[in-house]
Amino acid sequence: MSRLNIILLIVFAALLIWITLFSPDQIARIQSGTMTFFRPFIKASDRADRGFESVNETPMTPSEMRSKIEELERDRGRLQLEVLQLDEILFENNQLREALQYRQRSPLRLRPARVMSRKPVNWYNTLVIDKGSADGVSVDSPVIVPVDEDGAGLIGKVSEVLGSHEAVVLLLTDEMCQVSARLENSQEQGILSGQRGSLRSLPPLKLRYLSKEAETRVGQRVVTSGTGGVFPPDLILGEVTSARVGVIDAEATVKPLVNFRELLDVFVVMRQEEAVPPPASDDQASEIPPGSASSAPDAAEPEAAP
């Protein structure tokens, strides 16, 4: 090896060491700057992906379209009725709160976000959303989607705020996203997370550290317990598909109820202490109707294993 190569190798090693010693703030600034450049490409790539998906859809026949229209009209009528009922419930609920002089508990504040990129990083299950620091999004903010009429389903938490309008969401299917969970209609609690190296479209989740006496049944829902402070309680996580009792504890396999492959619009749960910037007309942080998830997290501590 020539002398020049050796000198260059030493310079390279010195630069590499210097780079690895960057502080998290410096890295965040570098990534934010890089994201400014990549943002248009990420958006264009997502548009291209969606265009490709829509081309792949099978066209409907006229009779199928007719039945679809009828179905949608039926749904519209039902939804109009539900909206009226919900308005009544909301009004009644507010009156009851005042009447009973409940201690003022802040409802969840939601910020709608759109998925910019669904391509995961090599070994992490992530997606990128179009809300960032300018929108009040911060690390560990829970991200949810409406699952059905029962309420909201947790899809993960913000793991990194890339820039003013970009953030990375670590999905529930990743091993690093650990959620304090409980079996519905039960006090049994455990830690729910994905599995390492699980690279299927809808990988099963593991609910660990349940007590040996835990009564689990197939189809039983698993929801967030709210312990730990990161995730609000009663967000839907999935359904139990099987259970196994070990030597000192029990664990259950849980099928997620959110289709992670088809996420488009999601909601970031804003923490109460975060200063929410003045909302835009169609993009404002909205209050979730009481009943679906009642209390906001009160601290930003990570979920702790029991």
Partner 1 sequence: MIYCIAILLIVLVSFPLQEFVPVFAWAFFSRLMLVHTVFYCAALTVPFPVMLGFALMTGFLWDARYHLPLQSEADATALTSAEIPFGFTIFTFALLGSIVQGVRPLFRKGRWELPVFLVGFSVGLGLLLEYVVINFNRGDFRLVPEFWWKILMTSLYSALISPFLLLWFALIARRFDYRLRVENPHRRHTYDGDAF
Which residues of this protein are in contact with partner 1, per CB under 8 A?
4-5, 8-9, 12, 15-16, 19-20, 22, 24, 27-28, 30-31, 33-35, 38, 41-42, 44-45, 48-49, 52, 117-124, 126, 159-160, 168, 170, 175-176, 195-201, 261, 302
Distance CA 210, CA 174 (A): 20
Q: Is the dihedral of CA 255, 261, 266, 268 positive or negative?
A: positive
Task: Give residue for tokens 């519905």.
Answer: 184
Nearer of residues 2 and 61 to partner 1, judged by Cβ: 2
Q: Distance of alpha carbon 286 from its chain centroid, rounded?
A: 17
In this structure, how many other beta carbons lie within 10 angstroms of the beta carbon of residue 133?
A: 17
Q: How far is the CB of 160 from partner 1 (least distance, A)?
A: 6
| Long-range residue pairs from 279-287, CB within 8 A, at least 24 positions apart, any chain | 283/111, 283/112, 285/109, 285/110, 285/111, 285/136, 286/109, 286/110, 286/112, 287/107, 287/108, 287/109, 287/110
Query: Please, what's the b/e burial string for 239-273 (b: 16 or more CB within 10 A of its CB; e: otherwise)?
Result: bbeebeeeeeebbbbbbbbbebeebeebbbbbbee
Nearer to partner 1, 53 or 70 (CB): 53
Shortest Cβ 8–partner 1 spacing (Å): 5
Shorter beta-carbon distance to partner 1: residue 30 or 299: 30
Q: Give the residue with the Cβ less far from partner 1, 182 or 208.
A: 208
The CB-of-11 to partner 1 minimum distance in angstroms stands at 9
CA 167 – CA 142 distance, rounded (Å): 12
175 or 239: CB nearest partner 1: 175
Nearer to partner 1, 89 or 199 (CB): 199
